[in-house]
Chains A and B, each alone.
Chain A
Amino acid sequence: MDLKTTYLGLELSHPVVASASPQSSTLEGVLRLADAGAAAVVMASIYEEQIRAEELAVAALSEQGNDSQPEATSYFPAMADAPGVLEARLETLRKSAERAGVPVIASLNGVSTGGWVEFARDLQQAGAAAIELNIYAVPANPYEPSADVEHRYLEIVRQVTAAVSLPVAVKLSPFFSSPANMINQVIVAGASGVVLFNRFYEPDIDLSTLQAQPDLQLSTAYDIRLPLTWIGLISHGFGGSIAATSGVQSRDEVVKYLLAGADVTMATSSLLRHGPEHIKTLVDGLRDWMEERGFSSVAALRGRSAAGLSPAHAEGFLRAQYHTILTTGYPGYPLTQ
């Protein structure tokens, strides 16, 4: 059974990758994921804003009270060689890359153009196997045309890919007027692949404070539908790698994503729920399914259900749901006429 796959030019032993999450924020976490059998690990995102804010906070808090009274010129131990906030993260990446035994992909979320490029260079230097640009920006400005948003994305991709020699993947949101076109443009701009899709963490409102607050909900198997649709639509003949993310709970989702045309599937929620050991369940499940269905390799399986294979396949992706609803109504709400 050949489970091998290639993602961003990286040879992977199978198509289950541990996605960026709190689990992959420490060396110990990355090693645990790698030891549990992840084909590659995407490290927890480095957020430029967070790094810069943390640097300022650390500086302010560690200097609080310094040189203010004669008995104490400081309140924290002097650590001359202590790494800065960014340096510490890069060090974790460096050690993870050295010791994981599988490719470690760095994930980056920048704010400023300079920040994207500068951080990407740092990540390359620290030994990342590839870089995933996690372009997570809510385009909430009603005066910003969608073309400008797209241009901003593409400019980041151009600048980063020009600055580093590593393969770069772009994690996109589904909310573009023409997602397929946007995905293609990203590749044209220099990216080696895309990660579909970024989930926006919609906030809830706290009824005691009356304020919006983050409310992180782990994904469920149902959440594969949106990425599955678009992967299925664009994968055939696509010029870069495709990683499918969201909803990978069991081997079924792995198989479905591969059938739609993904090169790798990325798991987060199920690993948070069940622990890194769940990777083995996913990979074993994939192998069992392939055996049951007589597939000898992932390559043979990949894209078997993609829209581009035939008009019939395309019909399934483009019209099936619409057609079903027109004829039978929503589940539980049959048409009365």
Chain B
Amino acid sequence: MTLDKTMTTPQTTTMDGNSAVAHVAYRVNEVCAIYPITPSSPMAELADSWSDQGLRNIWGAIPEVQEMQAESGAAGAVHGALQSGALTTTFTASQGLMLMLPNMYKIAGELTPTVFHVAARALAAGASSIFGDHQDIMAARPTGFAILGAASVQEGHDLALIAQAATLAARVPFIHFTDGFRTSHEYNKLTLIPDAVVRVMIDDELVHAHRKRALSPERPFMRGTWQNPDTYFQTREAVNPYYAKVPGIVETAMAQFASLTGRHYAPFIYSGPADAERVVISMGSGAEIVRETARWMNTSGEKVGALQVMLYRPFSIELFIKALPASVKSIAVLDRTKEPGAPMEPLHADVLSVLAEAFAEGRIAAMPRVIGGRYGLSSKDFTPGMVKAVFDELLKPKPKNHFTLGINDDLGHTSLTYDASLDIEPASTVRCLFYGLGADGTVGANKSSVKILSEAQDRFAQAYFEYDSHKSGAETISHLRFGTAPISAPYHIRHADFIACHKFDFLFKRDVLSAANPGVTFLLNSPYGPDEVWDKLPRTVQEQIVDKKLRFFAIDATGVAMRIGLGPRVNTILQTCFFHLSNVLPPDEAIAQIKHFVEKTYGAKGHAVVKLNFAAVDAAIAALHEVEVPAKASGTLEIPPIVPLSAPDFVRKVTGEIMAGRGDSIPVSLLPADGTFPGGTTQYEKRNIAVEVPIWEPDLCLQCGQCSIVCPHSVIRAKTYSTEALAGAPDGFKSAPVNARGYPDSYYTLQVHVEDCTGCGVCVENCPAISESGDARRAINMGEKRPILEQERESMGFFEQLPMPPRERVNYANVRGVQFLEPLFEFSGACAGCGETPYLSLLSQLFGDRLQIANATGCSAIYAANTPAHAYKANADGRGVAWSNSLFEDGAEFGLGFRLAVDKQTELARDLLQKLAPRVGEELARDLLAATQFSESDYAAQRARVVALKQHLSPIDEPDAKSLLSVADFLVRRSVWSVGGDGWAYDIGYGGLDHVLAQGRNLNVLVLDTEVYSNTGGQSSKATPLGASAKFAAAGKRTPRKDLAMQAIAYGNVYVAQIAIGANPEQALIALREAEAYKGSSLILAYSQCIAHGIDMRTGMKQQARAVASGYWPLFRFDPTMRNSGLNPFRLDSTRPRIPLEEYAYRELRYKTLTRTHPESAAEMLRQAEAAAMERYRNYEDLAARDGSRFLPHWESLA
């Protein structure tokens, strides 16, 4: 069976760009070596899933899909597979492509046919971004790879095949790219290439020739030798004839493809009148917008042309000149990239130099004026209005060169002004916008809607999705177009014929109706009925409805969904309403189609799920009501400012604007040039995403802190204070006498920041206090937020002004004490119930005011620092967490760099202080140099000394004094941590981590171990346990997780701990403090539950306890300092396994799912997993039982 069973004749279907590319790549390759990276991951995941299902390529073989530890590894494996004769591919993007560059030079230099399919994406610079542009492609242009760029989903599909055919013929490797997200994630209708066409396009003789060139002991040779000044140069030049042939080969392949499919392509595609005088040149999805805008302008009598560069490398001067109309007088070249310091961006430079050369050589009669500009970085929306502005600019006698589009560059004044409202789309296209929540299924419903809408032969549809920066409570915007003509509009909808708002609160956060065309339909999911909803709308929304004469419909979809048992998933209900109101299909047909897709989507998941969704479809229309719209707006509700007026200037002007969805309008001058942003902005969000929040019961509370220590979003805070401090407390402010002995007249309050809470319920599950009345109440219980919100706002305000208990008076050694330390990591964008964030919160509580974090890319970087939501903050004294993210692969090295710099500057400070002791006071200098920095009171004293030192130094106008002033802060011991996930520590960053740990420097490493790549969607890592299913290990991972702890312990001088805060928070606390106090390297592996485990996240901490109780996750500490006393440094902190592994594992879908999908091997794998866990435990037990002399010597004293 091949991928498409009936693929002898063309079929049309609707899919996203990644799927369209993968459909071809899978069929024409034998090996895929990959590493997950956004936005290319779905291509690799699809290939893996097909391989798992046994689908075959065109030669009848099942392609082998191999996940690697990094893109560098993937490229190495691709190189090796190619050199061994297999048709091999990879899928990647951005930083991944950067890591492949060295091998790409090799692959190209060895004239090896392959196609790398890239979802083009921005590069990490002052900031990182997952979104699309051509920076990665442009960085790869010197490698020797040919570059073929697609503008649409159909082109992505077609060019994948053309690239494969061409690479085999040319022996030059290809990058085939689509625009990340804009094309890779856009759903559009396309015609699939039948297998028969693929067979014709791929010449088996060329495949055989590739195999014949491969390494073989049967005909041995050596490839990849090292050369010297005498021959290397000539070898590099020897490839030229091959490159010269590439454009012709691509043309031939395109011609053959056209004859087989009727779809025509060319290395350079010109669209427009033959006598056009103005031409805009572009590449990728932007080219489609340029083409469509030019077409629209030409209908108004203009003569403008669009030239799409499809084959960018090798750049054929001849074909380019041929494609360009001879009449052209002015050209604008659009680059979706940025090359700081270059005279111009690469495509611009190429076009200009090619034309200059052609003109100089007399190949063109006149030299047109050429200008260029940048657009669309990081998927910045690129619109027809912008294109028209460029064409208009070309009319000017002195057009602006090196311009930018789509931003307000008030700094360099490069921007072109444009008409943001320009609408060029045909009247036959219906455009719909859906504002939803990530968890409500809106995106999923629209993915099925786009398929329903394009099902008929003569109907077309397109869908694209925007997401915000949060993993919990994320807001989504679905852009859905449909009509009777193909849809070539890869940009956001700004003129909507239908708008649905699936979350009522959005009306108070963003301008939902600005895109509404007059007289169209507005559907609102409202908790208020048709008679009362009008008065609950913000006045501006009422005005929009009245002014635009919108038809207004309301449904309590959330209520219906809850009643039916669908929880928060309102998708099917609202999808039914959409079809009903849009009237795009006859009602019966629409219902039948929705049900068909429900069956298709959920059929495999069982009758119960299908039944619930069918019930939702059937209940929807009855609950839908048209709201009578009054003649004018009469509302009194205003949309509140997104951040309080008291917020800092930057937060109001920048952070707040981004939060309100107006980031596109922020001028360049307001944004930091070097990526430096203020932390602590999450406190301004007040997202109010939880329906239910924890409510404290003072009378039942043990004041133990077990709720706050596990809170993933640091929303539960505790303070103690004197009776007097209660004066002025608002009514309803809760407090209880401190229940510990020795604190008379002291009160305790547990305050929940309900507006920042995600409602995960982990705190409630972890509360040990139970009501004696037998009603299952605990000291903290989930309750509806709406009725208590106003009261809680007042209480929070009062609570925040209560003084924090002095740090030096807090007992750090237990959970009860730690609750009184202020977290300097709060309200992150992490998933509800996240298992990672409680550790970060704790880290910030313990060391936050002297903490410097090197964060490897991954979830922990995203939920902490996805602009505008920055979760690390400063305390009231202005001290706090200094945080930075370098890359995915270098979290440990980055942290070591911190350490080296900190140590060097501390050394400098101490040297200078010794030198300047007579000037600043001998006693102060002595105290500063001899200070013990261990306890909080030590730090407080040292800080006071540093303040005194600065006072002494300030007036001294001498170089040494100034120098000491610049490094005086280093006299307070800094806590340096590398933080990241297991994907980093076990895989991509493993080599670096290993090296860094081996250096013995005082760097602490915290691995938030979810045992899977969480951020990119659950791909297997080397931390993934045996018997658990994950992407790229769908049938269950066959090997046990790597014992990273033992590897580090083997060095003998690394502090190592394995912790699980839900199983033993005190042990976690001790381990973090010991690691921090240890003067060498330390490594902490922290069990972190994740939605990729398939558990009810509310129960995550209990699951941690089971992981420990089953022996799967033993708790231990290896403290090399114990060797100083001749003691065994390894202490096993958890008991022997006391529940079967199954009792832990089969509560998680990642394990349990195998009992359905692979029942025969599931039981065996569980047995193996149990045996592996037991054996590992026994090893630890043996280690713990050893005599203290049987360990490597502790080298601290030698350091």
In the complex, are the beta carbons of B467 and A70 less than 8 A apart? Answer: yes
Chain B residue at minimal CB-CB distance from A60 = B567
| Cβ of A287 to closest chain B Cβ, rounded Å | 32
1/0 per residue B459-471: CB within 8 Å of A? 0000001010011
Is A140 part of the binding interface, using a Cβ–Cβ cutoff of 8 Å? no
1/0 per residue A70-83: CB within 8 Å of B? 11111111111111
Partner of B774, one of A55, A79, A87, A210: A210
In the complex, are the beta carbons of B606 and A85 less than 8 A apart? Answer: yes
Partner of B1159, one of A59, A80, A88: A88
Is A277 part of the binding interface, using a Cβ–Cβ cutoff of 8 Å? no
Among the 9-residue stretches A61-69, A166-174, A226-234, A240-248, the one with 4 or more Cβ atoms under 8 Å from chain B is: A61-69
Is A300 part of the binding interface, using a Cβ–Cβ cutoff of 8 Å? no
In the complex, are the beta carbons of B1018 and A74 less than 8 A apart? Answer: yes
Taking CB atoms, residues of chain A closer than 8 Å to B1032 are 77
In the complex, are the beta carbons of A58 and B1159 less than 8 A apart? Answer: no
In the complex, are the beta carbons of B48 and A64 less than 8 A apart? Answer: no
In the complex, are the beta carbons of B49 and A78 less than 8 A apart? Answer: yes
Is A164 part of the binding interface, using a Cβ–Cβ cutoff of 8 Å? no
Taking CB atoms, residues of chain A closer than 8 Å to B41 are 71-72
Is A98 part of the binding interface, using a Cβ–Cβ cutoff of 8 Å? no
Is A288 part of the binding interface, using a Cβ–Cβ cutoff of 8 Å? no
Partner of B474, one of A69, A74, A84, A86: A69
In the complex, are the beta carbons of B1017 and A79 less than 8 A apart? Answer: no
Is A27 part of the binding interface, using a Cβ–Cβ cutoff of 8 Å? yes
Is B52 part of the binding interface, using a Cβ–Cβ cutoff of 8 Å? yes
| Cβ of A65 to closest chain B Cβ, rounded Å | 4
Partner of A77, one of B603, B1029, B1164: B1029
| Cβ of A185 to closest chain B Cβ, rounded Å | 31
Is A91 part of the binding interface, using a Cβ–Cβ cutoff of 8 Å? yes
Is A6 part of the binding interface, using a Cβ–Cβ cutoff of 8 Å? no
Partner of A71, one of B38, B49, B1096: B38
Taking CB atoms, residues of chain A closer than 8 Å to B39 are 70-71
How many Å lie between the Cα of A45 and that of B401 in the bound state?
A: 76
Taking CB atoms, residues of chain B closer than 8 Å to A64 are 1091, 1094, 1097
| Cβ of B1111 to closest chain A Cβ, rounded Å | 21
Is B66 part of the binding interface, using a Cβ–Cβ cutoff of 8 Å? no
Is B53 part of the binding interface, using a Cβ–Cβ cutoff of 8 Å? yes
| Cβ of B536 to closest chain A Cβ, rounded Å | 27
Among the 9-residue stretches B437-445, B698-706, B882-890, the one with 4 or more Cβ atoms under 8 Å from chain A is: B437-445
Taking CB atoms, residues of chain B closer than 8 Å to A75 are 1014, 1017-1018, 1090-1092, 1094
| Cβ of A82 to closest chain B Cβ, rounded Å | 5
Chain B residue at minimal CB-CB distance from A74 = B1017
How many Å lie between the Cα of A54 and that of B53 in the bound state?
A: 24
Is B836 part of the binding interface, using a Cβ–Cβ cutoff of 8 Å? no
In the complex, are the beta carbons of B1095 and A61 less than 8 A apart? Answer: yes
Is B30 part of the binding interface, using a Cβ–Cβ cutoff of 8 Å? no
In the complex, are the beta carbons of A78 and B46 less than 8 A apart? Answer: yes
1/0 per residue A37-68: CB within 8 Å of B? 00000000000000111111011111111111
Taking CB atoms, residues of chain A closer than 8 Å to B42 are 73
Is A159 part of the binding interface, using a Cβ–Cβ cutoff of 8 Å? no
Is B741 part of the binding interface, using a Cβ–Cβ cutoff of 8 Å? no
| Cβ of B981 to closest chain A Cβ, rounded Å | 13
How many Å lie between the Cα of A53 and that of B609 in the bound state?
A: 9
| Cβ of B1074 to closest chain A Cβ, rounded Å | 31
How many Å lie between the Cα of A68 and that of B831 in the bound state?
A: 10
Among the 9-residue stretches B234-242, B968-976, B1148-1156, the one with 4 or more Cβ atoms under 8 Å from chain A is: B1148-1156
In the complex, are the beta carbons of B438 and A83 less than 8 A apart? Answer: no
| Cβ of B144 to closest chain A Cβ, rounded Å | 31
| Cβ of A85 to closest chain B Cβ, rounded Å | 5
How many Å lie between the Cα of A80 and that of B470 in the bound state?
A: 29
* Chain A interface residue bracket vs B: 35 or more
Taking CB atoms, residues of chain A closer than 8 Å to B444 are 63, 66-67
In the complex, are the beta carbons of A76 and B1159 less than 8 A apart? Answer: no
Chain B residue at minimal CB-CB distance from A22 = B1142
Partner of B45, one of A67, A69, A78, A92: A78
Is B862 part of the binding interface, using a Cβ–Cβ cutoff of 8 Å? yes
How many Å lie between the Cα of A26 and that of B1167 in the bound state?
A: 14
In the complex, are the beta carbons of B770 and A70 less than 8 A apart? Answer: no
| Cβ of A110 to closest chain B Cβ, rounded Å | 13
In the complex, are the beta carbons of B467 and A58 less than 8 A apart? Answer: no
Taking CB atoms, residues of chain A closer than 8 Å to B1029 are 76-77
| Cβ of B1097 to closest chain A Cβ, rounded Å | 8
Chain B residue at minimal CB-CB distance from A91 = B1159
Chain B residue at minimal CB-CB distance from A26 = B1163
Is A155 part of the binding interface, using a Cβ–Cβ cutoff of 8 Å? no
Chain A residue at minimal CB-CB distance from B613 = A59
Is B1160 part of the binding interface, using a Cβ–Cβ cutoff of 8 Å? yes
Is B495 part of the binding interface, using a Cβ–Cβ cutoff of 8 Å? no
| Cβ of A189 to closest chain B Cβ, rounded Å | 27
Taking CB atoms, residues of chain A closer than 8 Å to B441 are 63, 67
Instruction: Give the contacts of B134-158 with A (CB-CB under 8 A).
Output: none
Partner of B49, one of A65, A77, A88: A77
How many Å lie between the Cα of A74 and that of B438 in the bound state?
A: 12
Partner of A81, one of B53, B438, B1153: B53
**Contact A58 B606, CB 8 Å, known A65-B1091, A70-B467, A77-B1034:** yes
Taking CB atoms, residues of chain B closer than 8 Å to A55 are 605-609
Taking CB atoms, residues of chain A closer than 8 Å to B1030 are 76-77
Partner of B1155, one of A53, A65, A88: A88
Is B188 part of the binding interface, using a Cβ–Cβ cutoff of 8 Å? no
Instruction: Give the contacts of A1-47 with B (CB-CB under 8 A).
Output: 26-29
| Cβ of B938 to closest chain A Cβ, rounded Å | 41
Taking CB atoms, residues of chain B closer than 8 Å to A83 are 604, 1156-1157
Is B1016 part of the binding interface, using a Cβ–Cβ cutoff of 8 Å? yes
In the complex, are the beta carbons of B604 and A56 less than 8 A apart? Answer: no
| Cβ of A247 to closest chain B Cβ, rounded Å | 26
Give the one of A60, A61, A88 with max B CB within 10 A: A61
In the complex, are the beta carbons of B607 and A58 less than 8 A apart? Answer: no
Instruction: Give the contacts of A237-259 with B (CB-CB under 8 A).
Output: none
Instruction: Give the contacts of B174-231 with A (CB-CB under 8 A).
Output: 181, 185
1/0 per residue B1027-1048: CB within 8 Å of A? 0011111100000000000000
Taking CB atoms, residues of chain A closer than 8 Å to B308 are none
In the complex, are the beta carbons of A27 and B1017 less than 8 A apart? Answer: no
Partner of B38, one of A70, A77, A81: A70
Instruction: Give the contacts of B432-464 with A (CB-CB under 8 A).
Output: 438-439, 441-444, 447
Taking CB atoms, residues of chain B closer than 8 Å to A72 are 41, 1015-1018
| Cβ of B467 to closest chain A Cβ, rounded Å | 5
Taking CB atoms, residues of chain B closer than 8 Å to A88 are 1155-1157, 1159
Taking CB atoms, residues of chain B closer than 8 Å to A82 are 604, 1153, 1156-1157
How many Å lie between the Cα of A72 and that of B476 in the bound state?
A: 14
How many Å lie between the Cα of A36 and that of B501 in the bound state?
A: 62
Enumerate chain A interface residues (CB-CB to B < 8 A).
26-29, 51-56, 58-88, 91-92, 209-210
Given A70-B130, A71-B41: 11 more A-B contacts, CB < 8 Å: A26-B1155, A54-B606, A59-B602, A61-B1095, A69-B474, A70-B467, A72-B1015, A72-B1017, A78-B46, A85-B1156, A88-B1156
Instruction: Return 18 A-B CB contacts under 8 Å, by A number.
Output: A55-B605, A55-B608, A56-B606, A56-B608, A58-B1153, A59-B609, A61-B1094, A71-B39, A71-B862, A71-B1016, A75-B1090, A75-B1092, A76-B1150, A76-B1153, A77-B1029, A80-B53, A81-B604, A84-B606
Enumerate chain B interface residues (CB-CB to A < 8 A).
38-39, 41-42, 45-46, 48-49, 52-53, 130-131, 181, 185, 438-439, 441-444, 447, 465, 467, 470-471, 474, 476, 565, 567, 602-609, 612, 770, 774, 831, 862, 1014-1018, 1029-1034, 1090-1092, 1094-1097, 1149-1150, 1153, 1155-1157, 1159-1160, 1163-1164
